[in-house]
Chains A and B, each alone.
Chain A
Amino acid sequence: MIWPFITRSLGIATILLLAAIGELLDERAGVLNVGIEGLMLFGGAAGFLAALKWGLLAGFIVGTIVGGAFGLLHAVLSITLKVNQVVSGMGIWLFAMGFVTYWADRYSGPLPMGMVSPSIHGLSPMFFIALAILFAIWFILSRTHLGLKIRSVGEDPSTAEVSGVNVVKIRYLCTTIGGLLGGLAGAFLTLTYLACWSHLPTMGLGWVALALVQFSIWRPPILLAGALLFGFIWQFAISPETIYAGIPAPLPVLRMLPFAVTIIFLTVISSERFRKKWALAKPAALGQPYIKE
C-alpha cells in the first residue's frame, strides 16, 4: 500500500519540481512569472490533445513547446513591451484558464486505453529527468559563466549590461526555458499523473510551485526538498486512505492542507529571522523591467 503512495507523491513532486525550477531560473534572471499555473494549463491541454492525435511522445513534446511559447510571450510582454510583470503573468494565467476551458474541455476524459506512460515499478522516469534538470540548472547557475551572467542580470541589469552582458537575451532565454519547463510539468500532469483531461486540472499546483521558489530562497537544493515535501502533503490530501485506512477526517478538510501549509511556510520564511537571509538571496532586480537609458 505504501509504495503506490510514494510513487504518486513523487509524481506530484515531479510536477512541482519541473514547474518550480523553471520559475527559479526566471526569477534568478529578474523576471517574475506569476502565470506558471497558466503555462501548466497550456502545456497540459496541448500535450493531452496532441497525445490523442499523435501519441504520447508527441504529447510531451507539443506540451513542452506550447509552454515555451507562452514563456516567450511573457518575455515579449514584460521585457520588450515593459509591461508590469505581475500584470503580464496574470494575463497569461487568465487567458490560459479561458482558452483551455474552451479548447480542451470538450475532450474531457481519460487517455485511450494502452496509452500508458513508461514506469519503473510505478515510478515515472520523468522524476529522474526532473532531477537531472534541477542538477543541470544548479550547475549552470553556480559554476558557469552563463550562470554568473544570469545571476548578474537578476541582481543589477544595468551593471551587467556595461560589463558586456546582453541583458535582454539572457532574460529571454531564461523566461523561455521557464516556459518550456512549465509546459512539460503540465504535460506530465495530464499525460502521466492524471492520464486524463478534466476542467482546470492543475488545481493550484502552479501557485504552489510559485510559492516553493520563494520558500527555497532561490536555491535549487532547498527547492528539491520543498518539492518532495509538498509532493507528499498533496498526495496525502488526495488519498489519505493509502497511508492509513482509518483516517476519520472528511476529505475536503485534507484538501485544504497543502494550501494551508504553503501559507504557514511562506509566513515563516518571511519572518524577521529568515528575512535577512531572504533579503540577501532575493535577486535584487526581481520584478523590475530593464530600461536602457
Chain B
Amino acid sequence: MIGLRFPKLKCERIVILTGADAVKISALSVVISFMLFGAFVAFEGTDPLVAYEHIFSFAFDPKLGLPITLHRGFFLVFNTLAFIIPMAAGIWNIGMEGQFYLGTIGAFAVAYSFPDLNQAILIPLMLISGAIFGAAYGALAGFLKGKMNVNEVVVTIMLNNIAFWLVYLLTVGGPWAGIAESTSKPLPKNACAPMVWNTPFTSIFVIVVAILVYFFLKKTTIGYQIRTLGSNPIVAKHVGISAPKISVIVMAIGGAIAGLSGYHMWAGDPAFLMIPRPEAYKAIGDLTYWGIILGLICLLNPLTSVPASIFIGSIIVGTTVLVRRLRMPFGLDVLFLGIISLVFAAFQFFHQYRIRRVKVVIGK
C-alpha cells in the first residue's frame, strides 16, 4: 500500500518562549495591524499606500508634523513607562489618564501660585509637584490593591473618571478658567518649557527616564523583587517579598512618571490647559491608553518603548492629515489603536502555542 502524505497543522504548547520569538510575534502583530488599517482606509475610498505616504510625509516633515509627532510620541513614552513598571510586578495600571491629569494639576497649581519665580526654580518645582501628585494618585490604587486586595483595573478606571472631573472642575468655570471655553488661563512665561528642536526639553528628559527604568528593573534589588513578584507571586511570598509594599512602590513610580507627562503635554506648545466637554472628543486623555498597548507590544522593555512610541506618535499626528486633506472621518488614530490592541491580544496565542506543519502518513 502506498502511504498517503499530507501536511497537517499541529498545535504545540510552548514551555518557554524565547525573547527572539516574542519580538517576532510583536512585530508580526504590528504588520498585520497596518494591513487591517489599510483595509479600513481602502473601504473609505482611499488608496492605503497613498494614505500611508500622506501620514508619514506629514508626520516626519520638520516644518509641519515632526514637532507634534515628537511631542505626542514622547508623551506616549511617559505613559508607556507608567504602565510598564507596575505590569512588571503583575499589576495592571490603566490609570495613566488619571495620573496624568493629577500631574497636570500639580504642575499648574505651582505655576499659578508662584508665577514670578525664576524659571530655573519654577520648572523643576512644577515637575516635582506633578510627579508627587501623580505618584500619590497611583500609590492610592497600589495601596488598595496591595493592602486591601481591591481589583486595580476597576479602581484605576474609576480614578481616571474622578481625575477628569477634577480638571474639569478647575478649568471650566472654575478658578483656573481662561477666556476661551474649556481652556485654562495661560501659564506664566517662566513656567513654559524651554524648547529643544521645537519640542519641550522634557522629551530628552524622558529618554533618560526610560534608560533609568531599564536599569532599575534589570539591575536593582527592588527591580528584582518587582520582576519576581510579577513572574510568580507565590514564589515571591515564600522568599519574603512583600506584595503590598511592592504594589505601592510600583504604582507610585508609575504614577510619578505619568504625572510628569502633565507638564510635558501642556507646558510647551499651548502653554495652557485644555479640557473638553465630556461629550466631546477628548483626544489627549485617550492618548494615555496607548501606554497599555505600547507596553505590552514592547514586551515591557522600557528602551524599545521610545522608538515604538515615536512611531505611534507619527501615526496619531499623521492620521489628522487624512481627515484634513483627504476628507476622511475623525477618529482614525483611535481606530488604529483599537485595531492594534485587538490584533495584539489575538497574537498572545503565539506566546503559548506554536503551530507546526507535521507530515502525517496514513497507511504503510
Contacts and interface: CB of A to CB of B under 8 A. Distances in A.
Do chains A and B make direct contact within the complex (CB under 8 angstroms)?
yes
Interface of A: 34, 77, 81-84, 86-88, 90-92, 94-99, 101-103, 105-106, 198-199, 201, 203-204, 207, 210-211, 214, 250, 252-253, 255-256, 259-260, 262-263, 266-267, 270-271, 275, 291
Interface stretch (B1-9, B198-206, B343-351): B343-351
Interface string B244-281: 00000000000000000000000000000000001111
Interface stretch (B106-114, B162-170, B207-215, B225-233): B162-170
B341 interface: yes
A94 B332 contact: no
Contacts of A207: 154, 157-158
Say what secondary structure dominates the interface of chain B. helix
Contacts of A92: 342, 345
Contacts of B172: 252
A94 B341 contact: yes
A243 to B, nearest CB: 19
A261 B176 CA distance: 27
A252 B168 contact: yes
Counting from the closest, the 9 A-B pairs by CB-CB distance are A98-B338, A91-B345, A101-B331, A95-B338, A94-B341, A252-B169, A102-B331, A102-B335, A81-B349
Nearest to B281: A199
B191 interface: no
B342 A95 contact: yes
Contacts of B155: 263, 266
B221 interface: no
Interface string B281-303: 11000100100110010000000
Interface of B: 13, 40, 92, 94, 144, 148-151, 153-155, 157-159, 161-162, 165-166, 168-169, 172-174, 278-282, 286, 289, 292-293, 296, 329-332, 334-339, 341-342, 344-346, 348-349, 352-353
A256 B165 contact: yes
B257 to A, nearest CB: 20
Contacts, number: 146
Residue from A84, A92, A199, A204 having most chain B Cβ neighbours under 10 A: A199
Given A34-B153, A81-B346, A106-B329, A271 B148 contact: yes
A291 B336 CA distance: 32
A25 to B, nearest CB: 19
A264 B144 CA distance: 10
Nearest to B332: A102
Given A101-B334, A105-B281, A266-B144, 11 more contacts: A88-B345, A90-B94, A91-B345, A91-B346, A97-B286, A99-B338, A102-B335, A207-B154, A250-B174, A259-B159, A260-B162
Contact of A263 (B153, B159, B341): B159
B154 A266 contact: yes
Contacts of B281: 101, 105, 199
A94 B157 contact: no
Contacts of A98: 331, 334-339, 341
Nearest to B155: A263
30 contacts: A82-B349, A91-B342, A91-B344, A91-B346, A95-B341, A98-B338, A99-B335, A101-B334, A102-B40, A105-B281, A106-B330, A199-B279, A204-B158, A207-B154, A207-B157, A210-B154, A214-B154, A250-B173, A252-B165, A252-B168, A253-B165, A255-B168, A256-B166, A259-B161, A262-B158, A263-B144, A263-B150, A267-B144, A267-B150, A270-B148
A101 B172 CA distance: 24
A251 to B, nearest CB: 8
